[in-house]
Structure formats: C-alpha cells, structure tokens
Amino acid sequence: MNLKRLSIGTFNLYNLNEPALPVYTDADGWSEEQYTRKIDWTQRTIRQLRPDVLGFQELWHADSITRALEASGLAEDYDLLAPENANGTRIVCAAIVRKGLLAGEAEWIEAFPEKLVLKSSGDDPQTPEIGVNIDSFSRPVLAFRISPREDHEPVHVYVCHLKSKAPAKVYREDWFRANEEIYKKHQTNLGAAISTIRRTAEAAALRFMLTEVMKGTRSPVIVLGDINDGQQSNTANILTEQPRYLVGASRGGGDVSLYTAQTLQEYRSTRDVYYTHIHQDMMESLDHILVSEEFYDNSRRRLWMFDGMTVSNDHLHFDDHKESGTNDHGVVCATFKHGPIKTEAREIAEDVG
C-alpha cells in the first residue's frame, strides 16, 4: 500500500457499554433506547469521517463498537482493534484501522516501563525528597503499527486516555474517614492534587516509552487520544518535549519531539477555535493528535505534510447526551499528505545548520 494521504482521528465514546450494564456508580447503565441512539450517532460519525485510523477512548464493551462499525456499513473496510477482555467491566482504548494498513499485532500496555523512576532527593538543600509510587496506567495504552507506504518504515501509533482532572474521591480512603473533621473541607484540593500527580506520572511513563522508540531512529510516531489536559499544559509538554515550531523556509525537527495537530492548524488559521470539551462553560482542548518530526512540515526528515484538521464539536453545546446519543467530547481528525522533503533541500538545510 502506498497512500498519498493519511487521515488520523480520535474519538472519546462517552462510556460506550452494552445496555443495562453498570457504568461507574450507575447500576442501570444505558437503557435500550439510549443505547440505540448512542450506536446510531457513533456509526454516523464514523461514516462521516472515514479516517484511515480512528482511535477510541471510553469503550467498555467490544460488542458495542462492533455493532456501531457494522451499522456504519464500513465493517468490511476496517480492522477493529479491541481487547478480548473488553466485556463491559472496565474502560479500554480501541481503534479501527483501514484494511491493509495494520503491520503486526496490537497490544494494550498497562504496566509502566520497568526502568521508569519518579524519585528525587531534591535539586538543592531547600528542596525536599519526593517519590511517586505509581506503576500502571489508569487506562491501558493501545499500541500498534501501520504501513501507509511501502517505501517508509512503519508508523508507531499509540492511543491513550490519561487520568481525568476530576478530583480523586478521597472520602473513601481510610485516612480520610479516620479524621474526617479535618479532611472534609480539604477533599477537593487533595483529590485534585492526586489526580494531577497520577496524570503527570502517566504522561511521563508514556513519554518514556516513546523516547525508547524514537531516540536515534527514523521511526515515525503518532500519539492520539484524550490526555485530559490542554495544548500548553504540563501533561502535553511532557509528551511533546516542547519542540520549537519553525515557519517559512526554516528547517528543523527534533529526534524525540512530538508536534500537536492543534498548533499545526493554528499556523494555517487566523483564529483559534479548537475545543473538544466544555466543563462549567469553559471550553477546553483535551483530545489531541501528536506527531513526530516525520509528519512536521519544517523538519529535515519530513515524510508527510500536514493537510488540515477538523473538530466535530457542535454537539457539545447541548447537554443532552443521553437523549441525543452524542458524546461529551469533540471528535478530532487530521490529514497528512505524502511529501518527503527533497534530498537536495535537506542537504542544503543541514549545511546551513
């Protein structure tokens, strides 16, 4: 297969589970009517976008996404990646990949890298010791490879869903109950801090995995999903390693850098209207597509050029997701066209420095 264009999307399914199965503390889950509407809206979204790769978050049951894909009429066009244990009891990431693109087997990574250490004795005498003892992702990361071009290396794709910003429910903890009079007034603060630490650790673990794949190689990488944080957040900065974006004829690119499709789109627009979530009337961008330098226009090692991004988010302005079957996140899709940098241009750029 030698694609001239490659489209990548990310889609938070808003707790897609089979009807009547529990979802968090909702013991009754979706009714048959609500479920039917969810499947219909999901399949229409898939059919409208038809990307080459579409990553999913908040899938509970593999049968549900199978049903949506079949309803779209596109089941014969895609390979569905969903874990065998997606039986409605836990949240997983999943994906559909256009047939002929998948290279090898998919895996769901739950444990943090064995060598990851989040401990420090402090940078100076005034800084106290710190240690973070987290060893797994809240939602396993889906990892697989695709081969959109026979003349290039396969692309490593990671679908992630990092810990939300919702405060951890510390009122359930023994230490809280043992001294509730003290802790009750602090539970929001403490819970938010714990969620932030967990999400930060997950970002660091994923970044550790990415660097192992990217450092000193020419392996293209795409990370997509709900990182539950914004474009300029510390979570995003850890994942991307904050590369410099160049314009004009400048050539750069970083060996382990990731570039956000949001920023690439902003360079082509006079307005920033990107948002994928609304919480308490605050519009945020939580869902991202991050790409390595092989997909960055101004990289010396460019293979693909950014060709635009869409965000389907009008449904976020109506808080009727159960009635309408919609989800509570925008659906992001980015397209890249095959356009390797010319050999002579690369040589000139490298000579200039």
Is beta strand 78-81 parallel, antiparallel or unpaired with respect to 53-61?
unpaired
Give, to the nearest 10 degrees, the angle between helix 32-49 and helix 62-71. Answer: 60
Mean pLDDT for all residues in the chain: 90
pLDDT classification of 170: cutoffs 50, 70, 90: very high
Kindly state the percentage of the chain with pLDDT values over 70.
91
- Residue 50 predicted with pLDDT over 60: yes
Backbone dihedral region for residue 122 (phi beyond 0: left; psi -120 to 50: alpha; all else: beta): left
Rounded-to-integer distance, Cα 84 and Cα 290, Å: 27
CA–CA distance, 299 with 250 (Å, rounded to integer): 9
Say if residue 351's pLDDT is above 60: no
When mean pLDDT is compared across 96-110, 169-183, 225-239, 278-292, the lowest value belongs to: 278-292
Question: Residue 317 to residues 37, 108, 247, 275: CA-CA distances in angstroms?
Answer: 18, 33, 35, 11
Pick 229 or 143 by higher pLDDT: 143
Specify the pLDDT at position 158.
Answer: 98
User: What pLDDT sits at residue 353?
Assistant: 42
Strands (E), 65-150: 78-81, 87-98, 102-111, 119-120, 130-131, 136-146
Please check the confidence at residue 99 and state whether its pLDDT lies above 50.
yes
pLDDT at 13 > cutoff 50: yes
> How many H helices and E strands in the chain?
9, 16
Which pLDDT value is given to residue 228?
85
State the DSSP string of 5-56: EEEEEEEEEEEE--TTS-BTTBSS---HHHHHHHHHHHHHHHHHH--SEEEE
**What letter would DSSP give residue 326?**
-
Residue type, 59: L
> What does the alpha-carbon distance between residue 149 and residue 32 come to, in Å, rounded to a whole number?
43
Average pLDDT over residues 280-300: 86
Average confidence (pLDDT) over 76-91: 96
Of 56, 63, 122, 141, which is closest to residue 95 (Cα–Cα)?
A: 56
Query: Do 293 and 341 contact (CB within 8 A), yes or no?
Result: no
* Nearest residue to 290 via CA among 261, 264, 267: 261
Written as six digits, the tokens of 84 are 């065998």
Reported confidence tier of residue 348, pLDDT bands at 50, 70, 90: very low
Whether the predicted model's global pTM rises above the 0.85 cut: yes
Mean local confidence (pLDDT), 154-178: 96
| Sheet with 258-260: strands ordered across | 102-111, 136-146, 155-161, 221-226, 287-292, 258-260
Looking at residue 278, its pLDDT comes to 58
Can you identify the CATH homologous superfamily of domain 5-163+197-352? Endonuclease/exonuclease/phosphatase (3.60.10.10)
Q: Is the pLDDT of residue 345 over 70?
A: no
Strands 53-61 and 5-16: parallel
Average pLDDT score over residue span 136-160? 97
For the chain, what are the domain ranges? 5-163+197-352
The closest alpha carbon to 48, from 73, 19, 78, 21, belongs to 73
Tokens of 23: 């979802």
Confidence of residue 352 (pLDDT cuts 50, 70, 90): very low
Mean pLDDT of 67-90: 97
**For residues 74 and 98, what is the distance between their CA atoms, to the nearest angstrom?**
10
Written as six digits, the tokens of 249 are: 């004829």
Statement: residue 102 has pLDDT above 80: yes
**pLDDT tens digits, 232-272:** 899 999 999 999 887 666 678 899 999 999 888 888 776 55
